[in-house]
Structure 1
Amino acid sequence: MRPVILPGLLTILFTCLLVPNALAIDVNPDDITSLRDAAKTVASNMMQFYNDRDSKDIPGKLDGTWWEGGSMFMTLIQYWYLTGDDQFNDAIQEGMYWQKGENDFFPSNYSQYLGNDDQVFWGLAAITAAELNFPERDNEPSWVSLAEGVFNSQIPRWDMTSCGGGLRWQIWPYQNGFKLKNAISNGGLFQLSARLALYTKNATYAEWAEKIWDWSATTPLLRKTWVIADTTNVDANCKDHGDFQWTYNYATYICGAGYMHNYTNGEETKWLEGMSGLIKTSDQFFPDSASNQVISDITCEPIKKCDRNQKTFKSYFTSWLGFMSLIVPTNTTADMMARFKTSAVAAGQQCSGGRDGKHCGIRWTKRTEWDGTSGLEQEMSVLGVLNAVMVPFKARAPFNTHNGGNSQSRPHGESDTEDTPGPITTGDKVGAGILTAMFVIFWAGAVSWMVKDK
């Protein structure tokens, strides 16, 4: 017997087939309820991927990657602050504390293959938690102490043996990329230093932020034209440049400059100039195909070649600039914040995949045409832009020790400040160079021994 299909049902079926965004997430960027509802859906989808991972017995560890756990928690902390939804807080705390290592986010289980950029993202998650007064657990190090731990472990890696300074991309000489100094490692430490400076009012962090910025400006990583190179090679004395353009490279330098502008009360013009120049160059990430209003990682999205890391980059650009907009002159970020609104709407329209019709793609410039991809990273990027658009509705943070920040320097869960750095001295600078040289010599010997032993 032939099944009977009612006319109304037929209409619904055709609608679902012909209008792929019928189940997309509607976003009204001017309505906080709409934004919170959309963000809750996206955050829940992201956490479903997290809960379904094979490595679920290791809090904070994602399958095949370690650093993304830190960036995911950072995005969720922002979400909690902006919406008040605390359903994920236990998972955030558990993962952050589980992966803290020796209070520096350098856990021994993964330290043999981590890069400086991997570690710094967990530090940025920790300083985000401090700035937003995310709850801490008793008898655990404070969020700001964990951020300081990352800073204190990376500064001795400042490499004076080549290019006059800078962090290498990778930490160990046996890793591919050890000979590269890249934008995200140096920009990440620059941003972390700037945010620690503003949060703690400790001048040491500001001095290091300026040192990293000034060194970057001697290389193609931070050109006078405000074009950021992704990498430069120590074998070329950091004069060559890998010119792939990525949103997160720009975001980390932009935001560091914004925090330094606020820290210096606008008295050093280079921070405003740098921030404004880099924001202007970031116009490239808003292509003509979407009327220059929807953000895209142009190096990989148009050719459908974004790897899982690259699919997260827009999350950092949008959310970091969103929160930075609260502490810098309004006219420097107004145009970008308006574009984020359009991007949030487009991102919601891309959330029409999966069996529930709510899973998100990554090519927001395609708008209603779901790109056929889904994953934790895609959800993270969409949550990042939704967070950015929600920021003006909250308009209070980032907090610091002078305006309501609760996190205090407690490296071991006590009320001490023993690990807080003091002013930089000549001895410190020399010592850092000696430590770096000893580190390279030690690992060169170790690698030679391993090769010989084989």
Structure 2
Amino acid sequence: MKSVVLSRWLTALSACLLLQHVLAIEVNPDDETSLQDAAKTVASAMMDFYNARDSKDIPGKMDDTWWEGGSMFMTLIQYWYLTGDDQFNDAIQEGMYWQKGEDNDFFPSNYSQYLGNDDQVFWGMAAITAAELNFPERDNEPSWVSLAEGVFNGQIPRWDMTSCSGGLRWQIWPYQNGIGLKNAISNGGLFQLSARLALYTKNSTYAEWAEKIWDWSASTPLLRKTWVIADTTSTAANCKDHGDHQWTYNYATYIAGAGYMHNYTNGEESKWLEGVTGLIKTSDQFFPKSGDNQIISDITCEPINKCDRNQKTFKAYFTSWLGFMSLIVPTEITADVMARFKVSAVAAGQQCSGGSDGKHCGIRWTKKAEWDGTTGLEQQMSVLGVLNANMVPFKAQGPYNADNGGKSESNPHGGSNTKSTVGPEPITTGDRAGAGILTAIFVVIWAGAVSWMIKGA
């Protein structure tokens, strides 16, 4: 009897494994229809997660995070542009306008007390993406490009000259743990946003700031001459130290920004193409041997199964940002990485064999047909990003700007009559001490209240 039960169990297991393999999403990266069909399946599953969130009564707000809504909408806007599928447009518009904040700078008062500069800039990226791709705007709402300009206007006053001769701090407020760090994604994010605003609006102020941020980054370990990007550097060490965890999105934000600056300057400044080329070369590390050096991986966390929800989205930005940048830099610069994106897309589709429908995606694409056992909105977003990148060559146009058909109207004063433009005062020793005193007072009050409740019980 035991042998019969075991035989049935093995048969069932084999059937499940076969079903899992069969139900994976098949991707032909050389066929636009195949890519569009795969992207629709992935995007639909991502929106299922979005619609099922606990905070679904708040458009654009994700459970336990805020910034991720902006990055998801950015990826969906790309998807709409590349496929023509508008079924998610209402949700995108509703979420983007809801979270634009009282001052049209994506710094809503409900969440501003714990936001970092990187959180805000991702919504700015979503807005400039909407402008560049002529995503539909609603009447009586600010234009997409003006919302991106609002983020720029909110962040520039936070450029911190009190330490390291410049740079954005990771966090904004004195009581936040990351206030003593200047990091790649905050500075690289503002750099990329500035470069894209420069190309879209032709306003030289944005280009000047893009160059300023690049040059400052290059004076720190955040952007080394070897084209290795440090994740963080600290104000305590005058930005001479470096946290060296390697993340795809840090490279992507500087690569893409340099590509937009190359296009903006009509190739007249060699440093931009040198930056794109050098950083793409260093990004070889994200195509490890485990994926035959062809499949992208966030190598710091994926091999040890330690990626948090943020990190599971990073590949979406690397692939999609470089995919769209490939339209505005010489073809030979991105040919190799775009070829790798094809292999990565096939592997990503093979990872989409989880969940009850056998269509939900894992994050470790190097495992190919062996589903890694994870599912989530973030995993869907990363797969959608690489599918978007592979659809870009079929579009072969864009991004739009004020000179070639961009419809979104610039407002260089977007968000500039607001408290966020003033920003927090420079951080001083007194601020830190004050924050410490307030924390201590809070702890004493909290401890007293707990003691009182225990006695009362």
Instruction: Tell me, yes or no, whether TM beats 0.5.
Output: yes
Deviation at 1:420, TM superposition (A): 9.3
Deviation at 1:446, TM superposition (A): 5.8
Rounded to whole Å, the distance in 1 between the matches of 2:131 and 2:178 is: 32
- Residue 369 of structure 1 corresponds to 370
Rounded to whole Å, the distance in 2 between the matches of 1:438 and 1:14 is: 63
Rounded to whole Å, the distance in 1 between the matches of 2:90 and 2:430 is: 41
Deviation at 1:451, TM superposition (A): 4.2
1:255-278, Cα deviation, whole Å (9 max, x unpaired): 000000000000000000011000
- Residue 428 of structure 1 corresponds to none
Cα 1:279–1:438 shift into 2, 3 Å: closer
SS for the counterpart of 2:407 is coil
Cα 1:420–1:146 shift into 2, 3 Å: closer
- Residue 408 of structure 1 corresponds to 409
- Residue 81 of structure 1 corresponds to 81
For 1:166-177, list aligned pairs within 5 A: 166-177=167-178
SS for the counterpart of 1:342 is helix
Structure 1: 5+ residue runs without aligned partners? 1-9, 411-416, 422-431
Deviation at 1:143, TM superposition (A): 0.2
- Residue 46 of structure 2 corresponds to 46
1:57-111, Cα deviation, whole Å (9 max, x unpaired): 0000000100000000000000000000000000000000000011000000000
1:165-189, Cα deviation, whole Å (9 max, x unpaired): 0000000111011000000000000
Q: Retained in 2: the 8 A contact 1:161–1:436? A: no
For 1:245-284, list aligned pairs within 5 A: 245-284=246-285
For 1:280-299, list aligned pairs within 5 A: 280-299=281-300
Deviation at 1:440, TM superposition (A): 5.0
- Residue 142 of structure 1 corresponds to 143
Q: Which has the higher helix share?
A: 2
- Residue 57 of structure 1 corresponds to 57
- Residue 217 of structure 2 corresponds to 216
- Residue 435 of structure 2 corresponds to 447
SS for the counterpart of 1:76 is helix
Question: How many residue pairs get matched?
Answer: 428
SS for the counterpart of 1:302 is helix
Deviation at 1:18, TM superposition (A): 4.3
SS for the counterpart of 1:154 is helix
Cα 1:331–1:420 shift into 2, 3 Å: farther
1:312-358, Cα deviation, whole Å (9 max, x unpaired): 00000000000000000001000000000000000000000000000
Matching residue's letter, 1:53: R
Q: Retained in 2: the 8 A contact 1:294–1:364? A: yes
Matching residue's letter, 1:85: D
Rounded to whole Å, the distance in 2 between the matches of 1:287 and 1:448 is: 44
- Residue 450 of structure 2 corresponds to none
1:237-291, Cα deviation, whole Å (9 max, x unpaired): 0000000000000000000000000000000000000110000000000001111
Rounded to whole Å, the distance in 2 between the matches of 1:25 and 1:444 is: 52
For 1:140-219, list aligned pairs within 5 A: 140-219=141-220
- Residue 95 of structure 2 corresponds to 95
SS for the counterpart of 2:113 is coil
Rounded to whole Å, the distance in 1 between the matches of 2:426 and 2:231 is: 28
Rounded to whole Å, the distance in 2 between the matches of 1:14 and 1:448 is: 59
SS for the counterpart of 1:124 is helix
For 1:376-415, list aligned pairs within 5 A: 376-410=377-411
SS for the counterpart of 1:169 is coil
Q: Retained in 2: the 8 A contact 1:160–1:436? A: no
Rounded to whole Å, the distance in 1 between the matches of 2:369 and 2:319 is: 21
Cα root mean square deviation, aligned: 1.9
SS for the counterpart of 1:22 is helix
1:363-420, Cα deviation, whole Å (9 max, x unpaired): 000000000000000000000000000000001110000000000025xxxxxx6549
1:95-145, Cα deviation, whole Å (9 max, x unpaired): 000000110000000000000000000000000000000000000000000
Q: Retained in 1: the 8 A contact 2:105–2:415? A: no
Q: Retained in 2: the 8 A contact 1:230–1:246? A: yes
Rounded to whole Å, the distance in 1 between the matches of 2:431 and 2:86 is: 44
Rounded to whole Å, the distance in 1 between the matches of 2:396 and 2:23 is: 31
Deviation at 1:450, TM superposition (A): 2.9
1:174-230, Cα deviation, whole Å (9 max, x unpaired): 101100000000000000000000000000000000000000001000000000000
Q: Retained in 1: the 8 A contact 2:147–2:415? A: no
Is residue 351 from structure 1 mapped to residue 352 from structure 2 by the alignment? yes
- Residue 5 of structure 2 corresponds to none
Cα 1:81–1:451 shift into 2, 3 Å: same
1:37-73, Cα deviation, whole Å (9 max, x unpaired): 0000000000000000000000000001000000000
Rounded to whole Å, the distance in 2 between the matches of 1:436 and 1:451 is: 19
Q: Retained in 2: the 8 A contact 1:133–1:407? A: yes
- Residue 317 of structure 1 corresponds to 318
Matching residue's letter, 2:160: D
Rounded to whole Å, the distance in 1 between the matches of 2:355 and 2:78 is: 26
Deviation at 1:11, TM superposition (A): 8.5
- Residue 120 of structure 1 corresponds to 121
Deviation at 1:22, TM superposition (A): 1.4
Q: State TM-score, norm by structure 2.
A: 0.90
Structure 2: 5+ residue runs without aligned partners? 1-9, 443-457
Q: Retained in 2: the 8 A contact 1:21–1:350? A: no
Deviation at 1:449, TM superposition (A): 6.3
Deviation at 1:448, TM superposition (A): 5.7
- Residue 3 of structure 1 corresponds to none
